[in-house]
Structure 1
Amino acid sequence: MLKNKKIGFIGSGAMAEALIDGILKANLVTPSQIIVNDISQNRLDHMTGKFGVLTTLSIKDTVKAADILFLTVKPQIINGVLDAIAPLLSPTTLVVSIAAGITIGILESKLVRIPIVRVMPNTPVAVGEGMSVLALGHYAGEENGELVLTIFSSVGRAIIMDENAMDAVTGLSGSGPGYVFVLIDALTDAGVRVGLSRQNSLVMAAQTLLGAAKMVLETGEHPAKLRDMVTSPGGTAIAGIHVLEQKGVRAALIDAVQAATKRSQEMGKKSHG
């Protein structure tokens, strides 16, 4: 699928690094098929040293070489990047943007009649367990979607949704690692409170969340059914769950996702204004 494709990256930050790592580990392409552009020579030297990919300070060279062009830059500078690449793009170049809050409408207003895929990944792509949601632009076909899905599946799980779901996606999976880190930190404190060392407590808390998440994904069972398997009559787990329900943990998590979704909507309106 990606055999003869050249993949370009404009911006070589953490997300670009994670994606390149995943793409190469999955043997989707060879290092010589990847070209990375950045304004920092230090970053480019790091990418060459780590992955053996091609690097350049020239946006023009990157755009001209790429069949698939990733925009892995901060939203604040995306407009300047779009202005720079617009006159250089071939109509067949597939553009993939991970700039948060930058809609397909904004991208298509600058990159006319170009196939565009907007992606909202989350930070665990850095360890190959990301959750990425793709939305296809008006000129991106099914084949384009499958191509980008394959790339993001190399660093976790990926699904295609309508763009109007992106604020909700940001509220749940985009911001979600933040909520989970709070849970891990709190469970670690709890372990210390009941006499465990902080180091052991942290490993137990993090691995417990990882294992529970894996059970949900791999068994396909409803979380409530899996919870019922842990809660024996009059046992320890149900005593703990009773307290969680009493303290409104479930409602607090729902409220957190709602608040993050609302904030994403507000930020989107600001970027349009």
Structure 2
Amino acid sequence: MMAPNRTGNVTRIDTVQVGFIGFGNMGRAMAEGLIRTEAISAGRLYACASDYQRLAERAESVGIRPRKDVASLVNSVDMIVVAVKPHVVEQVLVPVAKQLVGKPIISIAAGWSCADLERILPGTNHLSSMPNMPVAVNEGVIICEGEHTLTERQDKLARSVLSLLGSVEDVDSSLLAAAGTVSGCSPAFVAMMIEALGDAAVKHGVPREMAYRITSQTFAGTARLQLESGRHPAIMKDAVCSPGGSTIKGVSALEAAGIRSALIRAIDAIEA
């Protein structure tokens, strides 16, 4: 028997039940991050996906409750996270449009703005956002579109949930794609740089595990220093570069290789 439909009127983070429509890499990362905080227990997280057997194995291993279809998931929860591929958003959500009324919907589907969701789900309460993979360890960035249809209470609850996963940044609709691209794709670029610097360390005799460890911690520490100090990155770079020293020689080599333009071109290629 299907459970009674939850109304979506819950406003407290310690009682809210969250459902993931789609449970791929990003949906799972968000769920893992929420569980890590212990603010939302695994037993209050639900998920559905096209491959139920695989979903059940992944979800039940961490205590998340799998559901066989979207309708039963929507009935079970107070808040919905739309985590399916962008090209199937409409076919997944439209059949349950009436059930979604009154419940806060957080979309993490790339390319789906407030206007896009309103076109297929008029009269519902939704927020478009773009998280990145570090949400799994509560150090992510969640880009949220400034335009949304959540009520004031729903918006407060949604932000309480999302802020458990990292830094929540609001942007105008016109900047949603660009900001989401920088935050969403940069973890791959950073991972490439960690790998490359790790290889350089190994080349000069440092054990590989140690090479990755010190490189990753250097990235994390440098990022934390910039966030907490608010210093311009160029000032931080200059602080390490002594006249005629080793760091400025390395910086010169990176400039000659076009590191700045390469990173800018990476974003240009995605946004083209």
Normalising by structure 1, report the TM-score.
0.85
Give the one of 72, 75, 79 matched to 2:83: 72
Contact 2:145 2:173 survives alignment (8 Å) = yes
Alignment of 1:147-226 (within 5 A): 147-226=157-236
Structure 1 unpaired stretches of 5+: 263-273
Does the alignment pair 1:232 with 2:247? no
Contact 2:13 2:160 survives alignment (8 Å) = no
Q: Which secondary structure does the structure 1 equivalent of 2:261 belong to?
A: helix
AA aligned to 2:243 is: P
Alignment of 1:29-48 (within 5 A): 29-39=40-50, 40-48=52-60
Contact 2:36 2:137 survives alignment (8 Å) = no
Give the aligned partner of residue 7 of structure 2: none
Q: Alpha carbon RMSD of aligned pairs, Å?
A: 2.2
Give the aligned partner of residue 266 of structure 1: none
Contact 2:138 2:164 survives alignment (8 Å) = yes
Give the one of 1, 19, 22 matched to 1:11: 22
Contact 1:67 1:94 survives alignment (8 Å) = yes
* Distance in 2 of aligned mates of 1:45 and 1:240: 47
* Distance in 2 of aligned mates of 1:109 and 1:193: 55
* Distance in 1 of aligned mates of 2:217 and 2:47: 35
* Distance in 2 of aligned mates of 1:58 and 1:194: 54
AA aligned to 2:215 is: A
Structure 2 unpaired stretches of 5+: 1-11
Q: Which secondary structure does the structure 2 equivalent of 1:88 belong to?
A: helix
Aligned residue pair count: 260
Normalising by structure 2, report the TM-score.
0.85
The structure 1 segments of at least 4 consecutive aligned residues displaced by more than 6 Å after TM superposition are none
Calculate percent identity across the aligned residue pairs: 31
Alignment of 1:116-135 (within 5 A): 116-135=126-145
Of the structure 1 ranges 134-143 and 170-179, higher mean CA displacement relative to structure 2 is found in 134-143
| Residues 112 and 181 of structure 1, relative CA distance in 2, 3 Å threshold | same
Deviation at 1:201, TM superposition (A): 2.7
Contact 1:82 1:107 survives alignment (8 Å) = no
Give the aligned partner of residue 94 of structure 1: 104
Deviation at 1:195, TM superposition (A): 3.7
Give the aligned partner of residue 269 of structure 1: none
AA aligned to 1:261 is: E
Contact 1:12 1:43 survives alignment (8 Å) = yes
Give the one of 8, 13, 27 matched to 1:2: 13
Give the aligned partner of residue 55 of structure 1: 66
* Distance in 1 of aligned mates of 2:66 and 2:211: 43
* Distance in 2 of aligned mates of 1:102 and 1:134: 12
* Distance in 2 of aligned mates of 1:83 and 1:121: 23
Contact 2:55 2:66 survives alignment (8 Å) = no
Contact 1:171 1:259 survives alignment (8 Å) = no
